[in-house]
Chains A and B, each alone.
Chain A
Amino acid sequence: MSQVNRLGLGGCIDRTQTYTFTFNGNQYTGFKGDTLASALLANGVSIVNRSFKYSRPRGIVAAGAEEPNAIMQLGATEAAQVPNIRATQQALYSGLAARSTNGWPNVENDAMGLVGKLGGPMMGPGFYYKTFMAPASMWMTYEKLIRKAAGLGRSPKEKDPDQYDHYHRHCDVLVIGAGPAGLSAALAAGRSGARVILCDEQEQMGGHLLDTRDQLNGQAANLWVTQVLAELASMPEVLLLPRTTANGLHDHNFATLHERRTEHLADTAPDANQVRSRMHHVRAHQVILATGAHERPLVYANNDVPGNMICGAVSTYIRRYAVIPGQRLVVTTTNDDGYRAALDWTEAGREVVAIVDARPNPEGDCVKEARKKGIRIITGSAVFEAKGTKRVTGARVSGVDPATFTLTGTKEDLACDTIASSGGFSPVVHLSAHTGTRPIWRDDIIGFIPGNVKGLTPVGAVKGVYALDRILAEGAEAGSKAALASGFSVSGIELPSVTKQLESKPIALFQVPHEKPTMRAPKQFVDLQNDVTAAGIELATREGFESIEHVKRYTALGFGTDQGKLGNINGMAIAARLLNQTIPETGTTVFRPNYTGITFGAIAGRHCRDLFDPERYTALHAWHLQRGAKFEDVGQWKRPWYFPVGNETMHDAVQRECRAVREKVGILDASTLGKIDIQGKDAREFIGRVYTNKWAQLGVDKCRYGLMCKDDGMVMDDGVTTCLGDNHFLMTTTTGGAAAILEWLELWHQTEWPELEVYFTSVTDHWATMTLSGPKARDLLSEITDIDLSKDTFKFMECRQGQVAGVPARVYRISFTGELTYEINVQANYAMHVWKALFAHEHTYGLTPYGTETMHVLRAEKGFIIVGQDTDGSVTPEDLGMQWCVGYDKPFSWIGQRALSRPDTRREDRKQLVGLKPVDPKVVLQEGAQIVLDPTQSIPMKMVGHVTSSYFSPTLGHGFALALLVSGSKRMGEKVYMPMADGKVIEAEVVSPIFLDPKGVRQNV
């Protein structure tokens, strides 16, 4: 098909660049500069979609973000699929492949249309709440059918090949919208030297000036646009962002701008290094809102038949794209702007059948111009019904009295294929309302304007100013004021001359009455995308949905991808009339981000895949990788979980690693432990306040285990702290708790005890920690250290300084495995050297690297807890049987102490940490298994605790577990039961949580 509706001249399109594209499998051509919508119209495509509920044929209505019908599935390949593209905002490119989102077998002939026709009367708002209830079991089946009919486009089924990113920007003045108001504001602000960002959602900046009939300085307005843009582009501190939608304006003038960088070029970024789109996170000192206004269509019967459009869109297609969307036009309007469409149409050489004006005596300049051109004007009237099904074939016109909502006078049918309507303008106030400010209704402009928002200045059409000279002047003033407020001196700009147009006042008309009552008239659509009709709104108000929020939710008004840009005000006005209220009484809708939809990928930015969350590595990570370690995620850290050899299973590897530590020597990379250097004369006092146990007597080079509670008495962290000097301690924390504990210490110091002389510094990353554990640890370490390791010189729970493999090191003789253990700490840059030096003796001593799983088995054999695994935020030190670690008589009431004497923490039947030994030694209890005393009871069973840690011990030769059990400490020797999901009941004996070497002989050798 050729471009039957393309005009021979004009438009901001590049006719030398022809693009071929497909729509619903048919091939068409368009030009560079077209949108998908303008190209479809150029090719005479009328039906672009089927409606959501009634499957009625739908055509293009608008030319911008407010388009409700032309919603497309885009993409030539599976991975490049994009659902719900607005054809009016999608630039045409070569090879673009678009499909309608609804319609089967196709949009021209849709089988569901019949259902819509027949079932329509039963499918009023909320019909599904009133049915599908019996029998109850059938709902899930009904729901499947409902779901199938729902949705617009579809998600791709493959990963997105494109990349996205974020850009944090800061500016003095952010100008949103590059129409006349925005351009003059940006120019005024830019000339002051302020940092200015000007963004506009369209392919080209200029807004209304790109298709206005008004002239600037006696020339076409877009010449002025070009000139201003050139000056702005030359200013180093001005950033121009075309194709960039301000989609959210958040607290304290934080705006999110979505810039489409390659979406106008191809399905996927032409160059793999390009980002498809970019979110600019802008913190602006001042924001100028120059977002203009959307034209409102009139609501009349069959106003959804293809060929019904808004007036402004008709002008835009003719003037900007050189496309005329029909042959014979009827305009129905409440204001002067409607006339422009007729004038543009007739100048393009096609027939204007009539302009139907709801005003009795319109007298503006364009009215005169229309008269001069011989266009028939029918005043005091409106189109109340469109004729046709797949395309408008005529318009039914009648006199109308908006005040009484009645038709008057005689009726007349006009033959036409296009009806353009204008019911006035709705300022695009959306962004001003995102932080909760309500827009304000103005009767004089028949629209809402932005409420007061700190740091935000609305200018131009968005505040109901429609005269071009005033728009330009206000823009310039706002730009200057914003720059001034940001501390810049301004000199103003010279404004272009505008020929004054005399305008006559618009009239308020939203729904055009019909000869039949609304409930019986042909459908009068308010929200085209969601098939919300005036009758639907009437039904909602009849049923008691009187708040506008109720009406919206009951009818789905404004819930589409267009978010009701065309329909919301009409819907409100209709509800107001039905409820006999004013529009402000009826209430405004709440506008929320986004202004227009943005892909998840763009919002996620670069923070996906391996950059979703940082992976933290120790200094030995590369070695672990090379050794074939399997890793466990612990917080953000990647920790070796176990080191399989050959085809070993995890169980085999862990058993081998455990035996190696118990029999020879193993090594663990413990670098992830949190480490905090604490210095100051009150360091000891401070530590005594935050730990449960006593620190007053700890000598230099001695280590001690400590427990930390919150002030509710519940255990929150643990670790070993070493006294390095009288005023110097090194605290270790759990891997996951490192950052939180440092902040915790700072919190107490800064807010409660600033008088204590103490400083905390994180050294987690500075020190690499290698835990050498096992009976051969001393022999191995002595090969490469100058530290005297002899039993009586370097005792258990002591620290020494010396050289290990030629590297200065602090060695702590502490043990989490129960074996003879040396924790070697070196400056992390030298860790690999030391580690490798140890492994030079691997075969002599049977040195075996072990991971976290083996560490867990070994520590559990000793009854050592893991905070967060054996505790859950509801466990006190006493519950853990760790009274030995509680300084009840410390002079300062340490954090957590007071809470331990509350009624619930004093209870005798609290859950306490115990060991469990399965009666069947082969059994390994399930971690998380719930414990009962009587397995024969019926459900719900009385549960008395749960298994927190459970392993098979190669040393003990049987499975064993730690558990929290009600009155556990008094149940030693009793049997408890774990009823499992497979129906089996597992029996275990309550034992001490210390399974191995309760006297601690092995670690003291």
Chain B
Amino acid sequence: MSKVAVFNQCPGSEVMAESPLAHQSSVKGGRALIVTEHAFLGHLILRGQADNESLKSAVLSVVGVELPLQPLTFVLNETTGASVQWLSPDEWLLILPAGQEYEVEQNLRQQISGHFSIVNVGGGQTLLRLKGDKVFDLLSKSCVYDVHERNFPVGKAVATTFAKATAIIRRPNEQEWELVIRRSFADYCYRWITDAGREFDLTFTV
């Protein structure tokens, strides 16, 4: 018997999932700031030693990208949409297409040796995508972190404060930004964003 309990936490498609913002309604507005929730993605926290070769090779073979060792970066698999993000020297966030988290976890566990952990956290966080000319302004109103393009190029990912909550900010491409927020704070973040985005005539799709 494995020393770690792993199980598929996703039911079949007959079970209706509810995102953390299920109770909130969409806001219709302009195109200067468009926020869209991407719920139900697979989120795994991977922890281990950065010098563990099996860790690196496992991530490469299972997720198809190099394990990012450079602080504050993440790597996107353009084909699958999966990504691996550096969170700390021994911690990474894997965001996977919906429903793949169990398989990925199993595959990683088979290939990684030594001291590591993998934890499914998909129920506990959700992802917002932001685009439009006013994203910089919205983020600047909300975060103490410098989101100017000189400091925040594509491929950067930073965990920081977001208003009075916390968030991970990611920049997958020139046009888009991503916010990973915690489930229990999601309603607060929604209210904050809609309030702070009011002057930009925001659109928020949940």
Direct A–B contact in complex, judged by CB atoms less than 8 Å apart: yes
Cβ < 8 Å to A, chain B residues 39-57: 39-40, 45, 47-48
Q: Which of B5, B125, B146, B192 contacts A765 (CB 8 A)?
A: B125
Cβ < 8 Å to B, chain A residues 678-724: 679-681, 700, 724
Q: How far is the CA of A827 from the CA of B150 in the complex (A)?
A: 39
Q: Which of B12, B23, B188 contacts A616 (CB 8 A)?
A: B188
Q: How far is the CA of A505 from the CA of B148 in the complex (A)?
A: 48
Cβ < 8 Å to A, chain B residues 91-137: 115-125, 137
B20 within 8 A of A: yes
Q: Are A168 and B140 in contact (CB under 8 A)?
A: yes
Stretch at the interface among A308-316, A396-404, A618-626, A862-870: A618-626
Give chain A residues whose Cβ lies under 8 Å from the Cβ of B148. 170, 195
Q: Are B23 and A622 in contact (CB under 8 A)?
A: yes
Q: Which of A764, A765, A801 contacts B7 (CB 8 A)?
A: A801
Nearest CB in chain A: distance from B137 CB, A: 8
Q: Which of B4, B9, B47, B182 contacts A827 (CB 8 A)?
A: B9
A519 within 8 A of B: no
Q: Are B183 and A828 in contact (CB under 8 A)?
A: yes
Give chain A residues whose Cβ lies under 8 Å from the Cβ of B2. 725
Q: How far is the CA of A167 from the CA of B163 in the complex (A)?
A: 11
Stretch at the interface among B61-69, B74-82, B168-176, B193-201: B193-201
Nearest CB in chain B: distance from A8 CB, A: 41
Nearest CB in chain B: distance from A164 CB, A: 11
- When C-beta atoms are compared, the residue in chain B nearest to A166 turns out to be B141
Give chain A residues whose Cβ lies under 8 Å from the Cβ of B151. 170
Q: Are B164 and A614 in contact (CB under 8 A)?
A: yes
- When C-beta atoms are compared, the residue in chain A nearest to B16 turns out to be A833
Q: Are A808 and B9 in contact (CB under 8 A)?
A: yes
Give chain B residues whose Cβ lies under 8 Å from the Cβ of A757. 115
B165 within 8 A of A: yes
Nearest CB in chain A: distance from B55 CB, A: 13
Cβ < 8 Å to B, chain A residues 582-617: 606-607, 610-611, 613-617
Give chain B residues whose Cβ lies under 8 Å from the Cβ of A831. 18
Q: How far is the CA of A611 from the CA of B3 in the complex (A)?
A: 44
B17 within 8 A of A: yes
Cβ < 8 Å to B, chain A residues 802-816: 803, 805-808
Chain B's interface size range is 35 or more
Encoded as 1 (CB less than 8 Å from any A CB) or 0, chain B from 145 to 159 comes to 110101100000000
Cβ < 8 Å to A, chain B residues 178-192: 182-188, 191-192
A767 within 8 A of B: yes
Q: Which of A610, A768, A801, A806 contacts B11 (CB 8 A)?
A: A806
A726 within 8 A of B: yes
Give chain A residues whose Cβ lies under 8 Å from the Cβ of B199. 273-275
- When C-beta atoms are compared, the residue in chain A nearest to B164 turns out to be A614
A366 within 8 A of B: no
Q: Are A728 and B5 in contact (CB under 8 A)?
A: yes
Q: How far is the CA of A828 from the CA of B140 in the complex (A)?
A: 31
A677 within 8 A of B: yes
B10 within 8 A of A: yes
Give chain A residues whose Cβ lies under 8 Å from the Cβ of B17. 829-830, 833
Q: Which of A726, A764, A806, A826 contacts B14 (CB 8 A)?
A: A806
Q: Are B1 and A725 in contact (CB under 8 A)?
A: yes
Q: Are B183 and A622 in contact (CB under 8 A)?
A: no
Give chain A residues whose Cβ lies under 8 Å from the Cβ of B165. 614
Q: How many residues from A make CB contacts under 8 Å with B?
A: 61
Give chain A residues whose Cβ lies under 8 Å from the Cβ of B164. 607, 611, 613-614
Q: Are B120 and A766 in contact (CB under 8 A)?
A: yes
B22 within 8 A of A: yes
Q: How far is the CA of A274 from the CA of B14 in the complex (A)?
A: 46
Given the known interface contacts A614-B185, A808-B9, A830-B15, the answer about A761 and B47 at a Cβ–Cβ threshold of 8 Å is: yes
Given the known interface contacts A165-B141, A622-B23, A766-B121, the answer about A806 and B188 at a Cβ–Cβ threshold of 8 Å is: no
Encoded as 1 (CB less than 8 Å from any B CB) or 0, chain A from 261 to 281 comes to 000000000000111000001
B19 within 8 A of A: yes
Q: Are A621 and B23 in contact (CB under 8 A)?
A: yes
Nearest CB in chain B: distance from A49 CB, A: 36
Q: Are B10 and A808 in contact (CB under 8 A)?
A: yes
B144 within 8 A of A: yes
B143 within 8 A of A: yes
A727 within 8 A of B: yes
B8 within 8 A of A: yes
Q: Which of A613, A767, A808, A832 contacts B8 (CB 8 A)?
A: A808
Q: Are A828 and B124 in contact (CB under 8 A)?
A: yes
Q: Are B4 and A766 in contact (CB under 8 A)?
A: no
- When C-beta atoms are compared, the residue in chain B nearest to A622 turns out to be B23
Given the known interface contacts A761-B121, A764-B124, A766-B124, the answer about A726 and B183 at a Cβ–Cβ threshold of 8 Å is: no
Q: How far is the CA of A579 from the CA of B140 in the complex (A)?
A: 52
Nearest CB in chain B: distance from A448 CB, A: 33
Q: Are A808 and B11 in contact (CB under 8 A)?
A: yes
Q: How far is the CA of A273 from the CA of B202 in the complex (A)?
A: 11
Q: How far is the CA of A142 from the CA of B158 in the complex (A)?
A: 59
Cβ < 8 Å to B, chain A residues 761-811: 761-768, 801, 803, 805-808
Nearest CB in chain B: distance from A882 CB, A: 29
Q: How far is the CA of A766 from the CA of B186 in the complex (A)?
A: 13
Q: Are B115 and A680 in contact (CB under 8 A)?
A: yes
Q: Are A806 and B22 in contact (CB under 8 A)?
A: no
A500 within 8 A of B: no
Nearest CB in chain B: distance from A684 CB, A: 11
Q: Are A615 and B39 in contact (CB under 8 A)?
A: no
Q: How far is the CA of A275 from the CA of B199 in the complex (A)?
A: 8
Q: Are A829 and B39 in contact (CB under 8 A)?
A: yes
- When C-beta atoms are compared, the residue in chain A nearest to B192 turns out to be A611
A659 within 8 A of B: no
Q: Are A619 and B20 in contact (CB under 8 A)?
A: yes
Give chain A residues whose Cβ lies under 8 Å from the Cβ of B146. 168, 170, 283
Give chain B residues whose Cβ lies under 8 Å from the Cβ of A759. 47-48, 90, 115-117
Give chain B residues whose Cβ lies under 8 Å from the Cβ of A19. none
Q: Are B184 and A637 in contact (CB under 8 A)?
A: yes
Given the known interface contacts A680-B115, A727-B4, A765-B182, the answer about A829 and B19 at a Cβ–Cβ threshold of 8 Å is: yes
Give chain A residues whose Cβ lies under 8 Å from the Cβ of B116. 759
Q: How far is the CA of A56 from the CA of B113 in the complex (A)?
A: 85
Q: Are A827 and B143 in contact (CB under 8 A)?
A: no
Nearest CB in chain A: distance from B204 CB, A: 15
Give chain A residues whose Cβ lies under 8 Å from the Cβ of B90. 759
Q: Are A763 and B5 in contact (CB under 8 A)?
A: no
Give chain B residues whose Cβ lies under 8 Å from the Cβ of A376. none
A627 within 8 A of B: no
Give chain A residues whose Cβ lies under 8 Å from the Cβ of B45. 761
Q: Which of A273, A677, A759: most chain B Cβ within 10 A?
A: A759
Q: How far is the CA of A606 from the CA of B16 in the complex (A)?
A: 35
Given the known interface contacts A283-B146, A607-B164, A808-B11, the answer about A801 and B121 at a Cβ–Cβ threshold of 8 Å is: no
Q: How far is the CA of A681 from the CA of B4 in the complex (A)?
A: 10
Q: Are A611 and B119 in contact (CB under 8 A)?
A: no
Q: How far is the CA of A831 from the CA of B15 in the complex (A)?
A: 10
Q: How far is the CA of A768 from the CA of B123 in the complex (A)?
A: 8
8 shortest interchain CB distances as A-B pairs: A765-B124, A766-B124, A679-B117, A828-B123, A724-B5, A827-B123, A170-B146, A614-B188
> 13 A-B residue contacts at CB 8 Å?
A165-B141, A167-B137, A168-B146, A169-B140, A283-B146, A614-B165, A615-B188, A619-B20, A759-B115, A761-B47, A764-B184, A828-B20, A831-B18
Knowing that A724-B5, A766-B122 are A-B contacts, what are 18 other residue pairs whose CB atoms are under 8 Å apart, sorted by A's residue number?
A167-B141, A273-B199, A273-B201, A606-B196, A611-B188, A615-B188, A617-B184, A679-B4, A679-B117, A728-B4, A759-B48, A764-B184, A765-B183, A808-B10, A826-B9, A829-B17, A829-B18, A830-B11
Q: Which residues of A contact B (CB under 8 A)?
A: 165-170, 195, 273-275, 281, 283, 606-607, 610-611, 613-619, 621-622, 637, 672, 677, 679-681, 700, 724-728, 757, 759, 761-768, 801, 803, 805-808, 826-833
Q: Which residues of B contact A (CB under 8 A)?
A: 1-5, 7-12, 14-20, 22-23, 39-40, 45, 47-48, 90, 115-125, 137, 140-141, 143-146, 148, 150-151, 163-165, 182-188, 191-192, 195-196, 198-199, 201
